[in-house]
Chain A
């Protein structure tokens, strides 16, 4: 149990660091945080319904979570309306695991960390349930593409 608690603490601290770093400006924006932010701020139905946009998202896999963590502050990312859009785009990012461009991005390591962080900052049981269902879906999807690392 102790190991589990330590692991959870590491996850929370790491995710907090990632989320807070969203306030920092990056000269190169190597995580495409601005682009990812614009996708999160879009209507999820539009995003998934646009043939050209949806493939940009589902080819990125885990990189979407990095873009979100760098693109938003913690208060922003925890806003209920935005949180649902975050969950929607994370689902879309793993909707087609066979088409994720980079091998490493097929592993939802950062995505699950982000979801754990979000879940621990929610008191509403319905919201927590939606987050857990998203995590369950992503873990199931990620198993469809063999991990190659």
Chain B
């Protein structure tokens, strides 16, 4: 799990990541970034902002892919939002306090836990709105194993900015997991 921040688009975990080999049994040490997909708005030309779906791979403490099914991803959320045209139109986003399942959602095909390859898609992540804005959120992440063991996955900071219709930038950083994703449209 050492090394530089992992940039979106770079080959963090290639197509052979979960292929072949025998299932491994050690406890997960964290997650690695596999890739991301853009999740389009209902009005692509009119909406401001950006959303993505991000694919994670459970890994061992040494960073090796771990084929472990049944780990439920949970999140504890906080965010602030501000409209660029009206700085007074800003505030804390009222999330449910505490830990809640990340999935399932329609955008992650109803996935609530890691599949047999140890992968999980968190989707959607981001914000769309009808005017220019800055959105900064934190997503404390953990994975809860089938036996109840909790793997702390650090805190993901998500920043979404948009200045014009049809455009948006999203930056996702998790320092503990050494993940950095940048996406724009």
Taking Cβ atoms with an 8 Å cutoff, the residues of A that contact B are 32, 35, 38-39, 42, 45-46, 49-53, 55-56, 96, 98-99
Chain A residues near B79: list those with CB within 8 A. 50, 52
Across the interface, do B94 and A98 meet the contact criterion of CB distance under 8 Å? no
Contact yes or no, B126 A51, CB < 8 A: yes
By beta carbon, the residue of chain B nearest A57 is B96
Q: Is B149 an interface residue (CB 8 A)?
A: no
Supply 19 further A-B pairs (C-beta < 8 A) apart from A49-B41, A53-B95: A39-B94, A42-B94, A45-B130, A49-B47, A49-B49, A49-B127, A49-B129, A50-B93, A50-B127, A51-B125, A51-B127, A52-B77, A52-B125, A55-B105, A56-B96, A96-B105, A98-B106, A99-B104, A99-B110
Size of the B side of the interface (Cβ < 8 Å), in residues, is: 28
Chain A min CB distance to B37 (Å): 13
For B128, the chain A residues whose CB sits under 8 A away are 49
Report if B51 contacts A (CB, 8 A).
yes
- Neighbouring B residues of A96 by C-beta, 8 Å: 105-106
Chain B residues in contact with chain A, CB under 8 A? 41, 47, 49, 51, 75, 77, 79, 81, 93-96, 100, 104-106, 110, 123-130, 135, 137, 139
A46 to B124, CA, bound (A): 15
Known: A46-B81, A98-B110, A99-B105. A51 touches B94 (CB 8 A): no
Write 11 A-B pairs (CB below 8 A) sorted by A numbering.
Answer: A49-B49, A49-B127, A50-B93, A50-B127, A51-B51, A52-B95, A52-B137, A53-B94, A55-B105, A96-B105, A99-B105
B100 to chain A: which residues have CB within 8 Å? 56
- Pick the most buried of B94, B104, B126: most chain A CB atoms within 10 A of its CB: B94
